[in-house]
Structure 1
Amino acid sequence: MTLTRTTRLERGRSALGPALELVHTGRAPTRAVLTSELGVTRATAGAVAAELEALGLIQVDSRPTAAAGSQGRPSHRLAVDPAGPVVLAAQVHADGFRAALVGLGGRIVATAPGCMTVPADPAHVLAAVVDAGAELLRETGRRCLGAGLAVPSAVAEPEGTALNPLHVAWPAGAPVRDIFAERVRDAGILATAGSGVTVFAGNDVNLAALAEHRHGAGRGARDLLCVATGHRGVGGALVLDGRLHSGSSGLALEVGHLTVNPKGRTCHCGSRGCLDIEADPLAFLTAAGRDPGPEVSLLQQARDLLRDERESPSVRTAVQVLIDRLGLGLAGLVNILNPDRVILGGLHRELLAADPERLRAVVAERSLWGQSGSVPLLACSLDHNSLVGAAELAWQPVLDDPLSVLPQ
């Protein structure tokens, strides 16, 4: 008896989430690849793709074209629906915030920055973030399925509290996820009656690593180390065996507090010479003999200085100083963690571009048995990767089970 589409879908319902994730991450560009990756029949893969299309999540090209020189019947092409639903992604940093609407595939649909002195009460800035996101939704008319927040702090799980917001004035233990969720609910921006929608919060560098692993420079790595400067400070994150490693309670890999200059400045944590204050944008400006101004963020000031005065002796010296400090920290991390790839974000991306040979040499010089020095050092490739990572948190319930979130 020929299976009906409904019967095929019932048989393949458990494959809906995995299928969507394959399209979302670009690993299933055609129905043939989807069939192979899922290990199902062509008919079941077709029913699954058709259901995801009916939910408004993907597009199935019904008139595929074969590549030149290929044989056999060409396969239908699969892509995320560019007009599909979005999630609200938000990032708070030392100089303000940014809100964005992000679709499947990590595609930023609309974004709105906000510059402000971040107040001691996180509720004020989170209200501004959600207001900005609500305005983007009104302007675009998009349906919002969830919300994710990136913050410059370790976020304890399962409580969702910011434990060490060193570069904003929030009190330690601020319940940022609950506050964000309350503001999102009050704004009434979640347009789904499903039961699977939740509001999430996470550390900004952790989320940057998650985004880069799924959509950027970390794609294909099994064990990925990410080290990045934010607007202030240095953070790190680790993807192990393809999954973000956050430890038993969300607090793993606080790399900013590795000592890289024993005679350096006193850190906010009470130690001295930490990577957090020895290799961030303020450290770069200081090493170059420049006083930071109030007009734009420290990160932007450091980037502008490196771009506009790269050949200045003081800037070249600052580049060398920070590369040596960063390389020392990376060497220790690589020796301990043995990743197959290291990606660098924020100002560290520009430092890698400015003198890649020096940074690789510093890491190699301190590597174990010469092997750690061969680990690829790459630049993060996504703009606003922490925002994209916050969106990944919000998309995860949909990726896990689309039918539990979206109306049928």
Structure 2
Amino acid sequence: MNGKATTTRTRLERGRSALGPALELVHTGRAPTRAVLTAELGVTRATAGAVAAELEALGLIRVDSRPGAAAGSQGRPSHRLSVDDTGPVVLAAQVHADGFRAALVGLGGRIVATAPGCVTVQADPAQVLGEVVDAGAELLRRSGRRCVGAGLAVPSAVAEPEGTALNPLHLAWPAGAPVRDIFAERVSAAGITGPAFTGNDVNLAALAEHRHGAGRGAQHLLCVATGHRGVGGALVLDGRLHSGSSGLALEVGHLTVNPEGRPCHCGSRGCLDVETDPLAFLTAAGRNPGPEVSLLQRARDLLRGEYDDPSVRAAAEELIDRLGLGLAGLVNILNPDRIILGGLHRELLDADPDRLRAVVADRSLWGRSGGVPILACTLDHNSLVGAAELAWQPVLDDPLAALA
């Protein structure tokens, strides 16, 4: 009897220790069926079934009660697994040079609801983050959903472990603003449950794309993106976001790609940050950026709608060449197995993919031997989804403890 009890207890412990890995597999779409879950976890079918049932009881996933098999497949049909669309959510928020956005995000990276915010970001980070959290709290009130945490994406390097925004260059915020503490305080004051996290927007975009988008399956993923202003980079190594010793890795915006180019906010000249962002494109094309819409949207509209205009095409080619030069240098240093591009860089890749890939191949040692795949980011609002990933991580690590 004692032996049977011990065996049962051991199986139960193994099952509980597999809850987090199992949830992550379903969350990232890598375990669409219970059979795949069994194989990925390396457990028995009974254990995988118990784990799936526990996650379903927690309101995190759904197990199809009618197992099915793909057309043409052989063997016993397997129960399909999916995230529970009615389950808990996290509050995700993003602040950028042209405003902010709050959203509710479920498992699987699914955005449930969004609330765009102001157009002008105030110089006081506490005021801005208070407005962000208020917008998120209203979304939660209307949804009636349980919230298990909050995540914030900001256009600045975020120092670890302090959680301070060191260089919010395109915001009027003071350098070193304690954004993580401010955000956590506002979240708590609004009565929103769960821990609060803060990270750099491009880091979080890379995390989201690696789990749910164009970076899925890459071992060493390089992400470079330009949003509303400036250029950022991020690196995922062996499936984990690489942020360096203090959160400041991959400040790729300050690679020099044009020594005689535009002055940069960092004090240098011709950095990727000021040579390949939306303002650089609009300026090179001879267009007035104008205050009526965001720089990113204005640049996108111009590139999509007027690419046949010689001045627009010439500006795009100029930016592509400088972006390619910067990417080639990063390939030589980092040797990634995939590059993904976001923001306006995604549009430049779409406009002339052969030109960009040729520049990278010509300027990089490894590019000449076969090339590094260069793909467009595929997720809308990937920084928001990445902010949500920060908030979901404690649940992915230990679902029982996080939801207790």
TM class by shorter chain equals over 0.9
Change (3 A) 1:3 1:33: farther
Q: Equivalent residue for 2:47? A: 44
Are the equivalent residues in 2 in contact too, given 1:335–1:372 (CA < 8 A)?
A: no
Are the equivalent residues in 1 in contact too, given 2:335–2:366 (CA < 8 A)?
A: no
How far residue 231 of structure 1 moved from its aligned partner, in angstroms, is 0.5
Are the equivalent residues in 1 in contact too, given 2:362–2:368 (CA < 8 A)?
A: no
Q: Equivalent residue for 1:23? A: 26
- SS of 1:91's partner is strand
For residues 249 and 18 of structure 1, the distance between their equivalents in structure 2, rounded to whole angstroms, comes to 27
Residue 378 (structure 1) aligned with residue 375 (structure 2): yes
Residue 283 (structure 1) aligned with residue 285 (structure 2): no
- SS of 2:249's partner is coil
Residue identity opposite 2:200 in structure 1: N
- SS of 2:50's partner is helix
Change (3 A) 1:72 1:218: same
How far residue 120 of structure 1 moved from its aligned partner, in angstroms, is 1.6
How far residue 12 of structure 1 moved from its aligned partner, in angstroms, is 1.1
For residues 31 and 393 of structure 1, the distance between their equivalents in structure 2, rounded to whole angstroms, comes to 26
How far residue 67 of structure 1 moved from its aligned partner, in angstroms, is 1.9
Matches within 5 A, 1:320-331: 320-331=317-328
Change (3 A) 1:334 1:369: closer
Q: Equivalent residue for 2:149? A: 146
Residue identity opposite 1:381 in structure 2: T
Out of 206, 209, 212, the residue aligned to residue 212 of structure 1 is 209
Q: Equivalent residue for 2:198? A: 201
Residue 10 (structure 1) aligned with residue 7 (structure 2): no
Are the equivalent residues in 1 in contact too, given 2:332–2:366 (CA < 8 A)?
A: no
- SS of 2:18's partner is helix
Matches within 5 A, 1:212-231: 212-231=209-228
How far residue 58 of structure 1 moved from its aligned partner, in angstroms, is 0.2
How far residue 373 of structure 1 moved from its aligned partner, in angstroms, is 6.2
Matches within 5 A, 1:187-336: 187-190=190-193, 197-336=194-333
For residues 29 and 3 of structure 1, the distance between their equivalents in structure 2, rounded to whole angstroms, comes to 32
Q: Which of 60-69 and 313-322 deviates more?
A: 60-69
Residue identity opposite 2:191 in structure 1: G
Q: Equivalent residue for 2:385? A: 388
Residue identity opposite 1:259 in structure 2: T
Change (3 A) 1:349 1:370: closer
Q: Equivalent residue for 1:193? A: none
For residues 352 and 367 of structure 2, the distance between their equivalents in structure 1, rounded to whole angstroms, comes to 20
For residues 388 and 367 of structure 2, the distance between their equivalents in structure 1, rounded to whole angstroms, comes to 38
Change (3 A) 1:350 1:372: farther
For residues 48 and 182 of structure 2, the distance between their equivalents in structure 1, rounded to whole angstroms, comes to 41
Are the equivalent residues in 1 in contact too, given 2:97–2:121 (CA < 8 A)?
A: yes
Out of 109, 128, 134, the residue aligned to residue 131 of structure 2 is 128
For residues 11 and 77 of structure 2, the distance between their equivalents in structure 1, rounded to whole angstroms, comes to 22
Are the equivalent residues in 2 in contact too, given 1:360–1:373 (CA < 8 A)?
A: no
Residue 355 (structure 1) aligned with residue 352 (structure 2): yes
Unaligned runs of 5+ in 1: 191-196
Residue 32 (structure 1) aligned with residue 35 (structure 2): yes
Give CA deviations for 1:329-386 in whole Å, capped at 9, x if unaligned: 0010011110000000000000000001110111111111654661011000000000
Residue identity opposite 1:211 in structure 2: A
For residues 136 and 377 of structure 2, the distance between their equivalents in structure 1, rounded to whole angstroms, comes to 25
How far residue 69 of structure 1 moved from its aligned partner, in angstroms, is 2.7
Q: State the superposition RMSD in angstroms.
A: 1.5
Residue 168 (structure 1) aligned with residue 171 (structure 2): yes
Change (3 A) 1:214 1:284: same
Residue identity opposite 1:18 in structure 2: P
Q: Equivalent residue for 1:105? A: 108
For residues 50 and 8 of structure 1, the distance between their equivalents in structure 2, rounded to whole angstroms, comes to 14
For residues 404 and 370 of structure 1, the distance between their equivalents in structure 2, rounded to whole angstroms, comes to 46
- SS of 1:368's partner is coil
For residues 8 and 144 of structure 2, the distance between their equivalents in structure 1, rounded to whole angstroms, comes to 32
Residue identity opposite 1:154 in structure 2: A
Q: Equivalent residue for 2:401? A: 404
Residue 182 (structure 1) aligned with residue 182 (structure 2): no
Unaligned runs of 5+ in 2: none
Residue identity opposite 2:290 in structure 1: G
How far residue 9 of structure 1 moved from its aligned partner, in angstroms, is 3.2
Q: TM-score, normalised by structure 2?
A: 0.97
Residue 68 (structure 1) aligned with residue 71 (structure 2): yes
How far residue 41 of structure 1 moved from its aligned partner, in angstroms, is 1.0
Identity across matched positions, percent: 87
For residues 399 and 12 of structure 1, the distance between their equivalents in structure 2, rounded to whole angstroms, comes to 15
> Structure 1 segments of 4 or more deviating over 6 A?
2-7
Residue identity opposite 1:203 in structure 2: N
For residues 102 and 173 of structure 1, the distance between their equivalents in structure 2, rounded to whole angstroms, comes to 28
Change (3 A) 1:5 1:144: farther
Q: TM-score, normalised by structure 1?
A: 0.96
Task: Report how many aligned residue pairs link the two structures.
Answer: 401
Are the equivalent residues in 2 in contact too, given 1:218–1:224 (CA < 8 A)?
A: yes
Change (3 A) 1:372 1:351: farther
Give CA deviations for 1:267-313 in whole Å, capped at 9, x if unaligned: 00000000001100000000000111111110001001111211111
- SS of 1:87's partner is strand
